[in-house]
């Protein structure tokens, strides 16, 4: 670990601190339908969209109609994405003439991008046409983020509004998210990324005449290496290579800004065409947290208690810092199993540490920071392979997702996720003093707590259920790349990531199989919509309630004590649920690695 590494981490957190208030105020204005400086450009587009889609922007919805509209939109757009992949051979912008995507994979991908997960059982550059990437995948990066933001705003309205039956209009919240919060920044941000070297074009892949001809293992038609009778591989000389291209920057920026995480290329943000410089890396990291940090301020502002927003922010920042510290420490220590002649120490001439699956330009500090940020949020983009992290370094991303990604979290999803924990925190505080709990002037009653517990219980049920099946059945274990406890970590990470709509992976696990495509697709849909529905129900229930002024018995939600209680609840719920599984995976692997054991 170096002073410079810590400074980069601190600098990043300061940037997030700085953007929280402006972003939060802006979003509060957008969703309260107050004036913003972007109105002259965006209002005409907004009105046009309402006219062609038949939306009455003054219509207010009950939570049930809101939920129906949200589900219908998700279902229709998911179906379109499925069909688009299947038919991409007949659609434009396909210079590589890529064939239609197979049904199971197309289903998994459609579920994945509709749910803001961006789990990828394919390599972008060999599977998806430019049209599918732009109009299918990047499009869903916008709208799935917008749906998440809309649900978070509805929850905040539930707290802020009093004695009303309605909670807003889904179509209006969706359109305003897309037009005000997402699109303008993406145009500017995409160009900033291009300036660093992120590619943006629609041309066919380039062919390169190599500077030095390359010796590669000869492969047969099925991709299996050809070997001589004595077991040595047959070599082949390659003189030309293909460079994959595409409209990357426009997708890269919304992939981070909307915490989606689905890479244009297989290597995601480790690919030099997606993330070429340390500055592009910082821009992308900033994008992952900016909206979610801003929403804490939106929460405070719309409910009339800015200090509460900051108390939530503080809890998130503390958990973030603990996570990034552990990962940075674990990765900087390196891998003790490597032979003694290998120098893993940090020096002026190298960043050292565990460099398997990491890029030189990012080194240890920026890869550890990225792994923490991408799993604190439900982003799932990667700039180094988590599967090759040390056991403890790789456990932090896994734990972050297991805590339901509430450390700033996915856009919208992080906010409504943490609100569930807050409901539990004030409920527990209420139990301790024997009073009906209140939160920001709303009584938290049996119905609300039941719905909150539904959210908390569905999540581990799908993760542990599907992981258990995969760990004992041949169709599950045959996909494992790394044997030993690491194999269990791969399976556990896979379902945790999909249930949490994260999308990062211990990518050695081959999940492009019928079992993982199907089980994963179901996991993602459950992890998204079975979370959102109880959330909307709580929002509807809260909005109906009377305002109860704070009294001496009210648990204050603006103090360090509240921040500590919230952190405690998040950690206890997560630890109680997942500790046994973790101890069989990464914790066991760490102990065995220290004992010098390999698999």
Burial bucket for residue 73 (CB in 10 Å: 0-12, 13-18, 19+): middle
Query: Where in 163-315 does DSSP place strands (E)?
Result: 166-168, 206-217, 235-243
> What H or E segment, with its residue span, contains residue 84?
helix 63-86
Whether 380 contacts 404, CB under 8 Å: no
Instruction: Cite the DSSP H helix spans in 473-513.
Output: 474-477, 485-499
In terms of phi and psi (left: phi > 0; alpha: psi -120 to 50; beta: otherwise), the region of 352 is left
The answer to whether 447 and 437 are in contact (CB under 8 A) is: no
Q: Which is nearer to other proteins, 144 or 303 (CB)?
A: 144
In the chain, how long is the greatest CA-to-CA distance? Answer: 85
Of residues 70 and 406, the one with the C-beta less far from other proteins? 70
Please say which residue, 225 or 568, places its beta carbon nearer to other proteins: 225
Closest to other proteins by CB, 142 vs 562, is 142
What are the Cα distances from residue 471, in Å, to 377, 486, 585? Answer: 27, 12, 11
- The CB-of-253 to other proteins minimum distance in angstroms stands at 9
| Shortest distance in whole angstroms from residue 432 CB to other proteins | 43
Sign of CA dihedral 412, 413, 416, 417: negative
Q: If residue 318 lies in a helix (H) or strand (E), which one and from where to where?
A: helix 306-333
Closest distance to other proteins from the beta carbon of 349 (Å): 4
User: In residues, how long is the chain?
Assistant: 599
> In terms of CB distance, is 351 or 501 closer to other proteins?
351
Q: Angle at Cα 308 formed by Cα 306 and Cα 311, nearest 5°? A: 115
Least distance CB 145 / other proteins (angstroms)? 11
Q: How far is the CB of 354 from other proteins (least distance, A)?
A: 7
Which residue's CB is nearer to other proteins, number 69 or number 440? 69
Nearer to other proteins, 63 or 310 (CB): 63
In degrees, to the nearest 5, what angle opens at C-alpha 439 toward C-alphas 434 and 440?
A: 140
Nearer to other proteins, 196 or 541 (CB): 196
Q: In the complex with other proteins, which residue's Cβ is closer, 256 or 387?
A: 387
Q: How far is the CB of 365 from other proteins (least distance, A)?
A: 8
Q: In this structure, what are the phi and psi dihedrals at residue 274, rounded to the nearest 5 degrees?
A: -100, -30
- Nearest approach, Cβ of 379 to other proteins (angstroms)? 16
296 CB-near residues (< 8 Å, 6+ apart): 20, 24, 309, 310, 312, 313, 316, 408, 415
The CB-of-255 to other proteins minimum distance in angstroms stands at 13
Nearest-approach distance from CB 222 to other proteins, in angstroms: 14
| Choice between 198 and 567, CB closer to other proteins | 198
Going 428 to 569 to 519 to 465, the CA torsion angle's sign is negative
Which stretch of DSSP H or E encloses residue 575? helix 560-582
Nearest-approach distance from CB 34 to other proteins, in angstroms: 23
Please tell me the distance from the alpha carbon of residue 581 to that of residue 287, in angstroms, as a whole number. Answer: 32
């Amino acid at each position: 670990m170096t002073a410079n590494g810590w400074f980069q981490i601190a600098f990043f957190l300061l940037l997030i601190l700085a953007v929280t208030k402006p972003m939060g105020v802006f979003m509060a204005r957008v969703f309260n339908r107050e004036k913003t400086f972007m109105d002259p450009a965006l209002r005409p587009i907004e009105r046009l969209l309402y006219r062609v889609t038949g939306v009455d922007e003054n219509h207010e919805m009950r939570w049930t109609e809101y939920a129906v509209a949200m589900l219908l939109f998700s279902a229709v757009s998911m179906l379109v994405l499925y069909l688009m992949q299947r038919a991409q051979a007949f659609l434009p912008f396909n210079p590589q003439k890529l064939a239609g995507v197979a049904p199971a994979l197309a289903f998994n991908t459609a579920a994945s991008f509709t749910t803001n997960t961006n789990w990828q059982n394919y390599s972008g550059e060999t599977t998806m046409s430019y049209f599918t990437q732009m109009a299918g995948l990047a499009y869903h990066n916008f709208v799935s983020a917008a749906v998440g933001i809309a649900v978070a705003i509805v929850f905040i309205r539930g707290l802020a509004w009093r004695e009303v039956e309605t909670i807003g209009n889904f179509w209006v919240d969706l359109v305003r998210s897309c037009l005000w919060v997402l699109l303008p920044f993406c145009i500017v941000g995409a160009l900033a990324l291009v300036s660093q070297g992120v590619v943006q074009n629609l041309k066919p892949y380039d062919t390169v005449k190599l500077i030095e001809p390359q010796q590669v293992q000869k492969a047969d038609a099925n991709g299996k290496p050809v070997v001589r009778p004595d077991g040595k591989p047959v070599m082949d000389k390659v003189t030309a290579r293909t460079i994959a291209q595409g409209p990357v920057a426009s997708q890269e920026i919304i992939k981070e800004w909307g915490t989606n995480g689905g890479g244009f290329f297989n290597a995601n943000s480790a690919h030099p065409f997606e993330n070429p410089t340390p500055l592009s890396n910082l821009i992308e990291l900033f994008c992952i947290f900016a909206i979610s940090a801003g929403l804490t301020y939106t929460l405070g502002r719309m409910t009339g208690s800015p200090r509460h927003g900051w108390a939530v922010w503080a809890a998130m920042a503390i958990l973030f810092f603990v996570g990034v510290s552990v990962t940075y420490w674990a990765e900087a220590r390196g891998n003790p199993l490597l032979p003694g002649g290998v120098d893993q120490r940090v020096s002026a001439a190298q960043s050292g540490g565990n460099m398997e699956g990491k890029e030189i330009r990012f080194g240890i500090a920026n890869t550890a920071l990225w792994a923490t940020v991408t799993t604190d949020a439900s982003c799932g983009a990667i700039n180094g392979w988590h599967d090759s992290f040390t056991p403890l370094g790789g456990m932090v991303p896994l734990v972050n997702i297991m805590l339901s990604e509430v450390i700033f979290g996915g856009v919208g999803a992080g906010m409504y996720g943490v609100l569930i924990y807050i409901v539990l925190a004030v409920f527990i505080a209420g139990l301790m003093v024997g009073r009906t709990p209140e939160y920001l002037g709303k009584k938290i009653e049996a119905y609300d707590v039941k719905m909150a517990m539904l959210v908390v219980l569905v999540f581990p049920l799908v993760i542990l259920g599907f992981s258990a099946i995969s760990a004992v059945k041949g169709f599950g274990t045959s996909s494992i790349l790394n044997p030993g406890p690491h194999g269990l970590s791969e399976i556990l990470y896979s379902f945790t990531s999909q249930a949490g709509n994260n999308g990062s992976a211990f990518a050695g696990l081959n999940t492009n199989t019928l079992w993982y495509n199907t089980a994963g697709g179901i996991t993602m849909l459950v992890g998204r919509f079975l979370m959102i529905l109880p959330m909307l129900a709580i929002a509807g229930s809260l909005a109906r309630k009377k305002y109860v002024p704070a009294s001496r018995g009210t648990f204050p939600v603006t103090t360090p004590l509240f921040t500590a209680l919230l952190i405690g609840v998040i950690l206890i719920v997560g630890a109680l649920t997942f500790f046994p599984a973790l101890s069989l995976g990464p914790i066991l692997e760490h102990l065995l690695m220290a004992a010098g054991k390999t698999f």
